[in-house]
């Protein structure tokens, strides 16, 4: 499961929508459609093991600018930790430009590795 939070400024303030998606190809396509439907300019995601790779590939293939960040660099305050809270925290950090991208090799370089 992937938890996604969109964050946009509106006349009424900041609007957040949080939704979960599966990780199978069909669900990843729904995720990309959801982000495009909401005119999302940047997707920020944590790199956890190898699980991020298929989601990252789907987002990039769909033409969505995506930043992969190290989970240690975007840690929230310790305490109750849920996927929803993490998703909202990453959306806030990305919204304000407070994330630093991790190195993600190009497909040709990844193949060599």
The predicted structure's pLDDT at residue 77 = 57
**CA dist list (Å): 33 to 19, 78, 109:** 13, 33, 28
Q: What mean pLDDT comes out for the span 7-23?
A: 92
Q: How far is the C-alpha of 93 from the C-alpha of 113, rounded, in Å?
A: 31
- What pLDDT does 70 receive? 79
What is the Cα–Cα distance from 54 to 59, expressed in whole angstroms?
Answer: 9
CATH of domain 2-112: 3.30.420
CA distance 90 to 69: 9
Q: How large a percentage of the chain has pLDDT more than 70? A: 94
pTM value is: 0.81
Average pLDDT of 73-101? 80
Locate the domains of the chain by residue range: 2-112
* Confidence check: pLDDT of 60 > 60: yes
pLDDT in tens, 22-40: 999 999 999 999 999 999 9
């Amino acid at each position: 499961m992937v938890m996604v939070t969109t964050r946009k400024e509106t006349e009424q303030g900041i609007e957040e929508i949080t939704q979960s998606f599966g990780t199978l190809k069909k669900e990843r396509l729904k995720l990309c459609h959801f982000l495009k439907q909401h005119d999302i300019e940047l997707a920020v995601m944590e790199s956890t093991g190898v699980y991020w790779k298929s989601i990252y590939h789907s987002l990039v293939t769909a033409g969505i600018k995506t930043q992969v960040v190290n989970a240690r660099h975007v840690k929230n305050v310790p305490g109750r930790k849920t996927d929803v809270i993490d998703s909202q925290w990453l959306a806030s950090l990305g919204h304000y430009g407070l994330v630093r991208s991790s190195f993600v090799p190009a497909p040709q370089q990844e193949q060599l590795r």
